[in-house]
Structure 1
Amino acid sequence: MLRFFALMLVSCLTYALPAEAKELARRPFLGIAMKTVESKETSGGPAVRVDHVIENSSASDADLRSGDMVVSVDGKEISSQEDVIAAIKPKREGDVLKISLLRDGHPISKDVPLIGLPLEKSSDFETIYEAVVVDGTKRRTITTRPREATRFPAVLFVGGIGCYSMESPLDDQEVYRQLLSSLTRQGFVTMRVEKSGMGDSEGPPCATIDLDAEKRGYIGGLNELKSKPYVDPDRVFIVGHSIGGIVGPLVAAQAPVRAIVAMETVGTTWFEYELINRRRQLKLAGTAPEALGRQMQVKQWCMHRLLIERDAREDIVQLRPECKEEMQIPTADVYLQQIAALDLPALWAKLKIDTLLIYGSADYLTSAEEHLAIAEVVNAERPNSATFIEISDLDHYMTRVESQRESFDRRRSERPAAYHDGLGTTIGRWLKDRPG
């Protein structure tokens, strides 16, 4: 698969970063698509070929060309796309990358000054890049706001599990960006907080941090959001997607909000969720009925060792190699173990705030029952404060598909679907009904 580093022109941006954000250097815009190939030019082993160079990027400015074979970066030998990514990751705008290439069999050395990645922008609203200090390090925040000079209700968005950037400057069709753009056009300020070490953010690598550290990042962002002069502090909400439907209420328990939205999430215990979800996906994958029991026994053993006994994944795989497939969850062991230790019903019961639960029936990763379990406990504590909405053609990835089968097959074949534009409207209408 080609790995793209950029698809937009930096020169089209005309607005400036605020002073505090300027202190948080921008991640670089290399501007190449590349592929790992077998090459006789590099001793017959794997090599990285430049397949495409984006105009007005760092690579194009340095005259990198399609067909160039990358031999080394900053003196380190390159044999895969991952090697190139690792070399670029610690760099920031203004740094220089030293690249050794083979072009038509001839060695070439290039000093590549790195320009910054483009910023998100919209003609409909303002996009503001700032930073908040968390655990002594700066985390990038991306805020969108209507242009009018007044105070608006605001949403802190908490995304799903894993390590990825929360901004999409190169793709205005990315689902998180489309959801938040929809809410901004409906009159809401929105904020995203980059995870530790992701995007422009400082801090330890995201893959190493625990749940408490991630939560502190969102609390820092939420407090900053409430302090904005263009935000109505009495109408600040949290919208959480997937694992964000667990992290969101943890944040709200320490930094109160007017109401909370949780969608495509988990409302029971994480251990039982892992088992139910695995069985559902095995069936969708066409696993023979007689093989289901055996596979579920493996899943149960592996997850018990990881989540209940709190063994390290590498130790578990040493004991039973088949556990590797069962534990491919993109986060630190301790993060998962902290999630598994949560009493989620008790967490929701303590909040006592208006709650919207959204489930898409095409979502094969969660279930309506998970969301109804949250609604039940919330309404038991505060009658009629939880609302459950099921959207028939919505899947876990916030796209419009007809069924769990279609979503599952699309994911396996890497065929994306279009964002479900009714989702933002549904959330916006419900939030507008929550007065200050």
Structure 2
Amino acid sequence: MKISILLLGITLLCTCISAQEAVLERRAALGLRLTQVNDSIAKANGLDETKGVYVSNVLEGTTADKVGIKEADIITQLNGININSTQDIVTEIGQYRNGDKLKVVLYRNGKRLIAKGIAQARPMEQSDLAEVVYSSVSYKGNQLRTILHHPKGKEKAPVVFFIQGYPCQSIDLAYSSQQPTRKLIDDWVAAGYAVYRIEKPGMGDSKSEKNCFDINFLEEVEVFRNGYMDLQNKPQIDADNIFLFGHSIGGIVAPLIASEFKPKGVITYGTLVNTWFEYMQELTRVQGLYFNRSDIEIEADIRNATPFWYEMLVAQKSNEEILQNKEIYKLLEREGTLESFKNGQFIHRHYTYWASIQNLVLSAEWAKVKSHVLALYGEFDIEALNPDHIYAIERIVNRHHPNLAKAKVIKNADHGFVRFQSMDEKIEVMNMGQYWDYMANHYHKGIGETTINWMNQVK
């Protein structure tokens, strides 16, 4: 079942407040790009087990850099808390603010070291094109950070509400000015559109009683419902011209928000309309071929994993009940995901998150949408797998509300808004571990151009 869900990997790059809300202070950020420790990394560093997180990149001038953390280090403790996953470190660093003391236990070239220093607050996003407004939304045990880029000198701007995908990570791009998402935001702002984002519970500066890693999908939808209600009341935006942009699983959130609030338009990029159970099977087959697994191996992967997927997604048993199945227990143990599943986690989210997506009838949700719809798919998107989903969205919406929806494939684009010359080039870049460096210089401007042209036509 060795499956890698590639719906944008987890990356740790770790104001204006309404009078009714307490000021939401800036959190500390480590400034690291992290991955899980595998067997080969553990062995090279003299570790008996695959504990800790591997540092693949350190951003210059950040907390991690000043503390002395280096690329290829393995972090195993932060202020006495054991770190065994990216989730652990995201959750732990989220508790720290500017000026807090840090003590990091790490391994470097097989040697155990201790690094000490002071946490620094992450900087705020800057823009030559926009006034950047940091604010917050409060509801049901949450105070969530919002970020609005408003075109300088423009009153009542039309606005794009960017709905991010599944990872529990911050959408604050202060450290990521070259990331394709930030470049897409800048393209929209340059065209006269404001851009609005909201953090998930516990991410970025947000304060939450229940962390993103512990919520289900419907609880996540509430984040964006409350964000929409906040956005439509902002005096500097044109509430009659709100456009949703649902990226990846954000494209599943989008129709649920659109059917309730009826924005001017809905754009999806790299999403799906079938059940999550079907998607997991299709994902295993399609990505397996791209990464050179044989058909026999892929078939074995699917047959081995299907009972687990069924129990979790269709039967919707608890993790304790599922682990009573000895074959599933052994399967997860072999895959190295047993301990995280015991703790309720699967693919960096609570297992009920995936089960609650399974419960959605997405064809019915799209049938309720009465807004203009543009469904996009990147030609080299190996996460959304194929363009069938965008044509299904187009078909469903137009059947119930004629002439509102359009589907389009963006040539040479991948899931992360990155331009490649071929699928072979994309796979090679990923296999060499160079995707994050590559993406900074290969933003696909066609995504901005396509969405801007469409919004200009329908607003």
- Same topology, TM > 0.5: yes
Q: Secondary structure at the match of 1:351?
A: coil
CA distance in 2, matches of 1:143, 1:379: 32
Structure 2: which 5+ residue stretches go unaligned?
1-10
Question: For residues 393 and 315 of structure 1, do their structure 2 counterparts lie closer, same or farther at Cα, with a shift above 3 Å needed?
Answer: farther
**Range that drifts further, 74-83 or 195-204:** 74-83
8 Å Cα contact 2:78-2:103 kept in structure 1: yes
Q: Secondary structure at the match of 1:311?
A: coil
Letter in 2 for 1:380: R
Does 1:322 find its partner at 2:331? yes
CA distance in 2, matches of 1:283, 1:380: 34
Letter in 1 for 2:327: L
CA distance in 2, matches of 1:265, 1:186: 25
What RMSD over aligned residues (CA atoms) do the two structures have, in Å?
Answer: 3.9
Q: Secondary structure at the match of 1:345?
A: helix
Question: Displacement, 1:361?
Answer: 1.6
8 Å Cα contact 2:284-2:298 kept in structure 1: no
Does 1:308 find its partner at 2:327? no
**Range that drifts further, 196-205 or 45-54:** 45-54
Question: Displacement, 1:155?
Answer: 1.1
Question: For residues 92 and 432 of structure 1, do their structure 2 counterparts lie closer, same or farther at Cα, with a shift above 3 Å needed?
Answer: same
Question: For residues 149 and 374 of structure 1, do their structure 2 counterparts lie closer, same or farther at Cα, with a shift above 3 Å needed?
Answer: closer
Tell me what 1:434 maps to: 458
Tell me what 2:283 maps to: 277
Question: For residues 173 and 312 of structure 1, do their structure 2 counterparts lie closer, same or farther at Cα, with a shift above 3 Å needed?
Answer: farther
Does 1:369 find its partner at 2:395? no
Letter in 1 for 2:166: I
Does 1:18 find its partner at 2:27? no
Identity of aligned residues (%): 29
Question: Displacement, 1:300?
Answer: 2.5
Does 1:255 find its partner at 2:261? yes
Question: For residues 313 and 421 of structure 1, do their structure 2 counterparts lie closer, same or farther at Cα, with a shift above 3 Å needed?
Answer: farther
Q: Secondary structure at the match of 1:143?
A: strand
Question: Displacement, 1:212?
Answer: 1.7
8 Å Cα contact 1:393-1:400 kept in structure 2: yes
- Determine which structure has greater relative contact order: mean sequence separation of CA pairs < 8 Å that are 6+ residues apart, divided by chain length: 2
Tell me what 1:246 maps to: 252
8 Å Cα contact 2:154-2:192 kept in structure 1: no
CA distance in 1, matches of 2:415, 2:217: 22
Tell me what 2:8 maps to: none
Question: For residues 173 and 314 of structure 1, do their structure 2 counterparts lie closer, same or farther at Cα, with a shift above 3 Å needed?
Answer: farther
Tell me what 1:13 maps to: none
CA distance in 2, matches of 1:209, 1:108: 34
CA distance in 1, matches of 2:177, 2:185: 11
8 Å Cα contact 1:144-1:184 kept in structure 2: yes
Does 1:92 find its partner at 2:116? no
Q: Residues 227-259 of structure 1, C-alpha deviation per residue, up to 9 Å, x if partnerless?
A: 111111111110001101101111222232111
**Larger-Rg structure:** 1
Tell me what 1:235 maps to: 241
CA distance in 2, matches of 1:181, 1:48: 32
Tell me what 1:332 maps to: 350
- Superposed, 1:11-410 pairs within 5 Å as 17-20=15-18, 23-30=23-30, 74=79, 87-97=92-102, 112-203=117-208, 204-313=210-319, 316=322, 318-320=326-328, 321-323=330-332, 325=335, 329-366=347-384, 367-410=386-429
CA distance in 2, matches of 1:308, 1:33: 35
Aligned residue pairs, count: 419
CA distance in 2, matches of 1:374, 1:34: 35
Question: For residues 34 and 403 of structure 1, do their structure 2 counterparts lie closer, same or farther at Cα, with a shift above 3 Å needed?
Answer: closer
Q: Residues 158-180 of structure 1, C-alpha deviation per residue, up to 9 Å, x if partnerless?
A: 11112111122112111222211
Tell me what 1:11 maps to: none
Give TM-score, length-normalised by structure 1.
0.82
**Range that drifts further, 189-198 or 79-88:** 79-88
Tell me what 2:7 maps to: none
